[in-house]
Each structure stands twice: as C-alpha cells, then as structure tokens.
C-alpha cells in the first residue's frame, strides 16, 4: 500500500465505508470527524459560476513572436523574433450556464493569459469583433435581457429582442451573432478579437491605437442551425471534447495573432468613433500585421484548479500596453477582477494558474487562504530597510493626453448605429445573408409583434432588403411601419 487515505489534517483513515454510529442500529454520531469533514468539503466543492462565460474549456500552450513589434510597443514579450511566452487560453460561451450545450447561439469568449517576464498580460476578447453596447453602464441590462427570465427561469426572445430593438447600437452585433458564426463548429475553428482598441507605446514614447485579431490555422468553420440541432441531440460538449482530444492526439491547434494600427492623429477621419466597441475595424481599411503564433499543446490536469479558477481582466497589462478611452473597456477594467475576488477569493492571484512567473513583492496581506503569504515584518512602504522592496523610479508609466474637455454623462460622438451593420451586410455573401435572415426568422417565433416591428425599423435603416426579407419570413406588413423612414 503506497498511499494511506487521510483526513485533510493528515490523520490516517481506517474505515471509509461506515459512519460512526451508536450501535449497529443507532443514529450517526456528530463526533465522526471523518464524516463531517468529508460532507462539509463536498458541500463546498463548487464556487459561484461566472455570471458570463460560465461554460468554458482551456489549455496550456506557447506564443512565439514572428515579427518584432518594437516599433509600436516596448512590451518585453513582443520585442524579438523567436521569443516565446507560456500561455493559458480559455474559450467559452457568454450567456448560458455552466452545463449548457455548446451548440447554442452565443458569442464565444477568447481569453489568453501570457506569463511574461514583466508580469502577466491578459488578452480578453470574443470570437465576434464587436459587442452589443458601447457603454459599461448598460452591461448588466444587456446580460439580464439575454439571461433566463427570473420568473420562469427560461430564456425568452421577447426579452432580448425587446432590449435590442430599443438599443440601435446593438444592430451590428446582431448581424454577426445571427450569422452562422453564432454557432461555431469547434473552439479550434473560431477567430478571436480584442473587440476593444488598446494603446501601444514604444521606447520613444510614441503611441498608437491597436486592435488584436486571432486567426485559426484550421480555418473558421461554423454550424448551420440544422447541424447544431443534430449535434445537440447527441452531445452537449462537442467543442470541449474536440479541443481536448485534438491536444491529446498531438494535433495541436494554432492561431496567428495580428494587429491593426490606427495613428491617433487619424481618429477623427471616420464617420464613426473607432474606439466604440460596437464598431469593427475592417481589414481592407485597417490592414492586418502579423505578430506571432499561439500553439496549444497541453490539456489541464485539473479543470477546476485551472480552467474554472483562472481569472482574466483586460486591464492586466504590461509596460508598453495601455487601455484606450473605450467606454465599455473602462468598465471591464474594474468588473472582471472584482468578479474573481467574489468567485474565488481575494487571493485568487496566488493560485498557480493565475500567479505570474516573476516574483511578487507588495504589502498586500492576509484575507482568505493567503497560501503565498509574504512573511516580512516590514509590510509598509516607504521604509528604510535595504532588504525590503521599494518603488523603482526607473519605471515611469506613460503619460497620455486627455481627449475630453469636460466631465458629465455625455453621449458619445458619431454613434453611427447602422452604418457598420450596413458594411457587414454588404460584405456578406448571398449564402451568409440567407443564413442571417433565416436564423433571425427562426428565432422570432413567439416574439411580440411590436418588438418585431421595432427591430425591423432598425434593420430597414441598415438595408431595406434586409428588413424586407425578415418581414416576409415572419409575416409582418413592413410598409405600414416604415413610411416615416423612407
């Protein structure tokens, strides 16, 4: 016998089959420590699931720089061709719960933690290049509308189509989500987008805006509604299984990372705000520049300790990378880490999956489960002790000019709610337009007439043919509702 069964206190367990009782027919005794510990821990095996991105899978890998980004950023892990950085990637569905089918129409989360020599850097994006809203103050509302009705616990198209009809900025997201890209064939075959613009600064202090794009080497492959239904009838975890088995079989998935660059001097040359998260940067306007390649080559050993306990935040940045003024991004900078402190605990960054590879020195102490407790009695700074950590004046954070001239609850300039959706429609092939129309028509079964009409009015401002085709498929008399738009 190589290993003895023990309690969490290390005490050997001689009988793991029978509770301690008062006689063979008597009641169980409260003094049975083994039983109490075992049940109490079992009761606490789960932490609260993520409000969004609950259903996910992940893998370890490596990122290799193919082209130095030195001209754009001083970020250490992007300086030299051939430079490698360990990563952990997590893919997820956004709206649905922990045990939901992976065939459901939903954006897919695409998050990558880079364990760089300068500390962790988190890429936190989606497969779709835009989002429903442009301001974080509306995030709880859009998610509430997409989540199950709190009275029935069922997702209801009347709820989310109602919200979308009254939120014209969401129209572009709908043209992506209700294409077949809303139901990817696998995680290996999804693209990734930062959604937000970020700032990169180089050693000379020059700043550019960038967006990041991941392109799968396996190609982008999606499911039709019928294909998704056929898979869901047999398998709830087809995407998780596919990724896990591919890595186990040595068929390591790969993505090329590209950036798109915008000179801040050019930000006002467009009829939309390029920092608006509801707007895409189309490749023919903002060319792709190849950065490097990510290969995922190792599955987690413990899904809970790694995939479920990993925490991401788009504000986890290294020198040379800064957040942009994107209003949705600004809210996410707070919300994501706050979620992990609630879910996993205040010391979630001490878990191996979240801990940086370089040493951590600060005066943050205690809290629940501080298993990497800093032991020095000098837990303040400034201090006069040579052996204790001090601030490093050689590290100077990049100063940035303010764009806004006043403070207030101000509407964003150049919202252009429908122009980008029109661009997407015009770029789609006939087959992609057919799928978009058919998927919306299928989803509108049971949706109230007035909600359909409001959405059709939005679609009409995107492209009249788009609205006409959806109206025909749902039996709505469009003409009497759009006279004022003509």
pLDDT in tens, 45-64: 889 999 999 999 999 999 99
In this structure, the answer to whether residues 426 and 324 fall within a common structural domain is no
Are 168 and 21 within one domain? no
- Which structural domain range is residue 13 located in? 1-45
Read out DSSP for 85-103?
EEEEEEEEESSS-TT--TT
Q: List CB contacts of 481: < 8 A, sequence separation 6 or more.
A: 453, 456, 457
Residue 336 marked as a ligand binder: yes
In a domain, 397, yes or no: no
pLDDT tens digits, 374-397: 888 888 888 888 888 888 888 888
Judge whether residue 404 has pLDDT over 70.
no
CATH number assigned to the domain comprising residue 16 = 4.10.91.20
Helix, coil or strand: residue 454 = helix
Q: What is the mean pLDDT of the chain?
A: 94
Whether residue 391 is contained in a domain is answered as no
Cβ partners under 8 Å of residue 422, min gap 6? 462, 463
Domain identity same for 430 and 341: no
* 231-245, 377-391, 464-478: least confidently modelled range: 377-391
Do both 230 and 163 map to the same domain?
A: yes
Residue 1 pLDDT level (bands cut at 50, 70, 90):
low
Q: Which pLDDT belongs to residue 400?
A: 80
Return the active site residues: 53, 126
345: left (phi over 0), alpha (psi -120 to 50) or beta: left
Cis check for the bond before 382: say yes or no (omega within 30 of 0): yes
pLDDT for 207 equals 96
Q: Quote the DSSP letter at residue 115.
A: E
**Which residues are paired to 197 by β-bridges?**
none
The H or E element that residue 216 is part of is strand 207-216
User: Which of 438, 457, 461, 439 is CA-nearest to residue 449?
Assistant: 457
Examine the domain organization and report whether 35 and 149 are in the same domain. no
- Give the whole-angstrom CA distance, residue 54 versus residue 26: 44
Average pLDDT of span 214-224:
98
Spatial distance between the Cα atoms of 23 and 30, rounded to a whole number of angstroms: 14
Return the biggest CA–CA distance within the chain. 86
* Whole-number pLDDT of residue 162: 98
User: According to DSSP H, which parts of 273-396 are helical?
Assistant: 327-343
pLDDT of residue 195: 98
Average pLDDT over residues 310-319: 95
Categorise residue 10: left if φ over 0, alpha if ψ from -120 to 50, beta otherwise: left
Q: Is a pLDDT exceeding 70 seen at residue 423?
A: yes
CA distance 88 to 195: 20
pLDDT digits (tens, 9 = 90+) for 76-129: 999 999 999 999 999 999 999 999 999 999 999 999 999 999 999 999 999 999
pLDDT of residue 363: 77
At 76, give phi and psi (nearest 5°): -60, -35
Poorest-pLDDT segment among 36-40, 235-239, 296-300, 375-379: 375-379
Residues 181 and 241 in one domain: yes
Which alpha helices (DSSP H) does 110-259 contain, by range? 139-146, 157-165, 171-177, 225-232, 238-248
Residues in the chain: 486
Residue 409: pLDDT over 90: no
Domain identity same for 86 and 136: yes
Q: Judge whether 156 and 194 are in contact, CB under 8 Å.
A: no
268 and 127 within one domain: yes
Supply the pTM of this predicted model.
Answer: 0.94
Integer Cα distance of 121 and 115 in angstroms: 7
Q: Answer for the pair 323, 77: CB distance below 8 angstroms, yes or no.
A: no
My answer on whether 64 and 3 are in the same domain is: no
Same domain assignment for residues 76 and 26: no
Domain assignment present for 373: no
Number of structural domains, the chain? 3
**Of the candidates 348, 363, 390, which is a domain's last residue?**
348
Neighbour tally for 186: CB within 10 Å: 21
Instruction: Tell me, yes or no, whether 74 lies in a domain.
Output: yes
CB count within 10 Å of CB 478 equals 20
Of 348, 363, 398, the one marking the end of a domain is: 348
Read off the pLDDT of each residue in 155-183 and give the average, rounded to a whole number: 98
104 and 204 co-located in one domain: yes
Question: Same domain, yes or no, for 153 and 72?
Answer: yes
Distance CA 197, CA 326 (A): 7
User: Cα(86)–Cα(76) distance, rounded to whole angstroms?
Assistant: 14
């Amino acid at each position: 016998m190589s290993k003895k069964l023990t309690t969490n206190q290390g005490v050997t367990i001689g009988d793991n089959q029978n509770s301690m009782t008062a006689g063979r027919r008597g009641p169980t005794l409260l003094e049975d420590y083994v039983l109490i510990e075992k049940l109490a821990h079992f009761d606490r095996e789960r932490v609260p699931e993520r409000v969004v991105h609950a259903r996910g899978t992940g893998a370890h890998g490596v990122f290799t720089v193919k082209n130095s980004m030195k001209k754009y950023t001083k970020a250490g892990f992007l300086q030299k061709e051939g430079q490698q950085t360990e990563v952990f990637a997590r893919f997820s569905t956004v709206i649905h719960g922990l045990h939901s089918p992976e065939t459901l129409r939903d954006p897919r989360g695409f998050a990558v933690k880079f364990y760089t020599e300068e500390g962790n850097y988190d890429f936190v994006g989606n497969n779709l290049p835009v989002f429903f809203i442009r301001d974080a103050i509306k995030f709880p509302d859009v998610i509430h509308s997409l989540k199950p009705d709190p009275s029935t616990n069922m997702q209801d198209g009347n709820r989310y189509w109602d919200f979308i009809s009254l939120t014209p900025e969401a129209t572009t997201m709908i043209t992506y989500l209700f294409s077949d890209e809303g139901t990817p064939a696998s995680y290996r075959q999804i693209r990734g987008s930062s959604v937000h613009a970020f700032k990169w600064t180089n050693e000379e202090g020059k700043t550019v805006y960038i967006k990041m794009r991941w392109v799968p080497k396996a190609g982008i492959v999606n499911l039709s509604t019928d294909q998704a239904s056929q898979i869901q009838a047999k398998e709830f975890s087809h995407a998780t299984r596919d990724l896990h088995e591919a890595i186990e079989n040595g068929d390591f998935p790969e993505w090329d990372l590209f950036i798109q660059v915008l000179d801040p001097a050019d930000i006002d040359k467009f009829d939309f705000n390029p920092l608006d998260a509801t707007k895409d940067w189309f490749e023919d306007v903002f060319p792709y520049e190849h950065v490097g390649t990510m290969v995922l080559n190792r599955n987690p050993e413990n899904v809970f300790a790694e995939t479920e306990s990993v925490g991401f935040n788009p504000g986890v940045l290294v020198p040379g990378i800064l957040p942009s003024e994107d209003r949705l991004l600004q809210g996410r900078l707070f919300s994501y880490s706050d979620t992990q402190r609630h879910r996993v605990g205040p010391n979630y960054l001490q878990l191996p999956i979240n801990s940086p590879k370089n040493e951590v020195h600060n005066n943050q102490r205690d809290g629940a489960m501080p298993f990497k407790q800093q032991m020095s009695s000098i837990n303040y700074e400034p201090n006069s002790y040579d052996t204790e950590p001090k601030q490093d004046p050689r590290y100077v954070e990049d100063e940035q000019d303010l764009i806004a001239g006043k403070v207030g609850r101000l509407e964003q300039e150049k919202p252009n709610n429908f122009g980008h959706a029109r661009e997407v429609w015009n770029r789609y092939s006939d087959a992609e337009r057919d799928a978009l129309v058919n998927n919306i028509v299928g989803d509108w079964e049971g949706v109230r007439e007035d909600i359909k009409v409001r959405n059709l009015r939005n679609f009409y401002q995107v492209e009249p043919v788009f609205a006409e085709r959806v109206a025909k498929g749902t039996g709505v008399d469009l003409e009497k509702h759009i006279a004022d738009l003509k």
